[in-house]
Amino acid sequence: MILGSNLYLIYFKNTQKKENLITILQIVANRLILSPIIGLTTVLCLDQFGIITDLCELFILFITFCTPSAITILVMAKQYQQQLEDVVSLILFYQYILCIITLPVCMTIYLAIFQPK
């Protein structure tokens, strides 16, 4: 609830949208599309080489690649870079909205590849 209120106030209070929406969406796509691909490659390599064989541990590792950035990034932006707070909040806003779509897709792909035996 705190995250939502912060994002709402920052996003709708800012009448001058100086941020480039394309750049923000590229950052979000990088985190929600490219990062899970890297995570899936990492998990497949760890499984193939037998470094981690537990499917639950591999799943948790993969999910960390698929989830949005932590809210602590917003706290750091507020603390150190006041002018970046709005941009970081907007990035987090889009990540959490689009994560509703990308996270189930990533979990489905994982479960299709690593079916329990």
Q: What's the rounded Cα separation, in Å, for the pair 44 and 40?
A: 6
Quick one: pLDDT at residue 51?
A: 94
How is the chain split into domains, by residue range?
Answer: 19-112
CA 72 to chain centre: 13
All residue ranges of the chain with pLDDT < 70 are 1-19, 71-72, 75-76, 78-82, 116-117
Quick one: pLDDT at residue 34?
A: 93
Nearest by Cα to 3 from 66, 60, 88: 88
Quick one: pLDDT at residue 7?
A: 52
Quick one: pLDDT at residue 22?
A: 83
Tell me the whole-structure pTM to 2 decimals: 0.73
Quick one: pLDDT at residue 57?
A: 94
Quick one: pLDDT at residue 58?
A: 94
Across the chain, what does the average pLDDT equal? Answer: 81
Buried b (16+ CB within 10 A) or exposed e, 3-24: eeebbeebeeeeeeeeeeeeeb
